[in-house]
Amino acid sequence: MTARRIPTRTLVAVLLATIAGLVARTVIQGQFTKAGISPDIAADVSYLIVPVVLALLLFPLWRTERSFLAKQFHRADLSYRVVVNAIVIGFIMRFIWWSQLIAGVSFGIYYSADPGAIVGPVFSFRCAAPDILVLGFVVMAILVPVIEEVVHRGYFLTAFRQRGFFVSILISALIFAVLHRVASLPYVFLAGLVLGTQYWITRSLWSSVLTHATMNGLVQIDWRCMSGQWNPQAADIPVVIPGVLALVTLAGCLLTLYVLLRKMATGAHETPR
């Protein structure tokens, strides 16, 4: 992270351009869905408008911002340790998602009122067509992480850095969460805290981008290849054993995540800058 002060007008421009890109994506996605295109494909293809909108609206800032952006991806900041740590954190974050989901189902937090819902658990693994998989990975594991990390960590977190570690990361995580679906807000907020911490520690976007890409890549495998249903009947809730195991796993993941981030911070402080 550079010590550069982000001008208010630049921050507002980035925020408005981001919102404009997401609105354009939503409109196009809706049109594709009405035309009979699969919702998953519509979501991926429509996202391609976001970088176009950002490039067009923020082009006037390119001359003043290109040096700042280049520093966020300095080659010297990309090391084997950074890559491995980032990927491991991405896997831990996905385990956290699955743990809370299983615990939520086990204890009735997530419950289907549909009387015809499959009780299960029933799981299968069958991937979508290769072109759909490639499109999903290009959009969600490459474009989305780069764009969102530049916007939310590169600009928003840097803009509030003078307020200190906790406040700047909290604000950037809140903005990050608000620009996602309401249903996923708690998890996205947690992800924003983790990604912001990585950015603060490493002073580079490499770590947060790679973690974000790992998380989104694993999500693509879930969405495109896995199919599962588990809807315990009300009389069977709580399902104690899976629920307890999920909570233990969740606690273990959170503890491991904390230890790993602390270790990263210690290593960063010991490394000359």
Task: Compare 130 and 115 and report the one with higher pLDDT.
Answer: 130
> Any idea where the domains of the chain sit in the sequence?
74-270
Q: What is the pLDDT of residue 270?
A: 59
User: Can you read off the two tokens belonging to residue 244?
Assistant: 């307890």
pLDDT > 90: percent of the chain: 74
Q: Is 242 a residue whose pLDDT tops 80?
A: yes
Q: Is 254 a residue whose pLDDT tops 90?
A: yes
Q: Is 234 a residue whose pLDDT tops 90?
A: no
Average pLDDT over residues 59-85: 93
User: Can you read off the two tokens belonging to residue 77?
Assistant: 């900041």
Output the pTM of the full model: 0.92
User: Can you read off the two tokens belonging to residue 239?
Assistant: 């399902």
Report helix, strand or coil for 98.
helix
Q: How far is CA 10 from the centre of its chain?
A: 24
Report helix, strand or coil for 123.
strand
Task: Compare 191 and 126 and report the one with higher pLDDT.
Answer: 191
Q: What is the pLDDT of residue 205?
A: 97
Q: Is 257 a residue whose pLDDT tops 90?
A: yes
Mean pLDDT of the chain: 92
Q: Is 98 a residue whose pLDDT tops 90?
A: yes
Q: What is the pLDDT of residue 101?
A: 94
Q: Is 269 a residue whose pLDDT tops 70?
A: no
Lowest mean pLDDT among 51-55, 93-97, 109-113: 109-113
Q: Is 212 a residue whose pLDDT tops 60?
A: yes
Cβ atoms of 109 and 101 within 8 Å: the answer is no
End-to-end CA distance of the chain: 12
Most confident by average pLDDT, 1-5, 48-52, 60-64, 222-226: 48-52
Report helix, strand or coil for 124.
strand
Q: What is the pLDDT of residue 192?
A: 97
Confidence of residue 210 (pLDDT cuts 50, 70, 90): very high
Q: What is the pLDDT of residue 229?
A: 85
Report helix, strand or coil for 160.
coil
Using alpha carbons, select from 205, 254, 255 the residue that is nearest to residue 86. Answer: 205
pLDDT tens for each residue of 142-176 = 999 999 999 999 999 999 998 999 999 999 999 99
Whole-angstrom Cα distance, residue 58 to residue 61?
A: 5
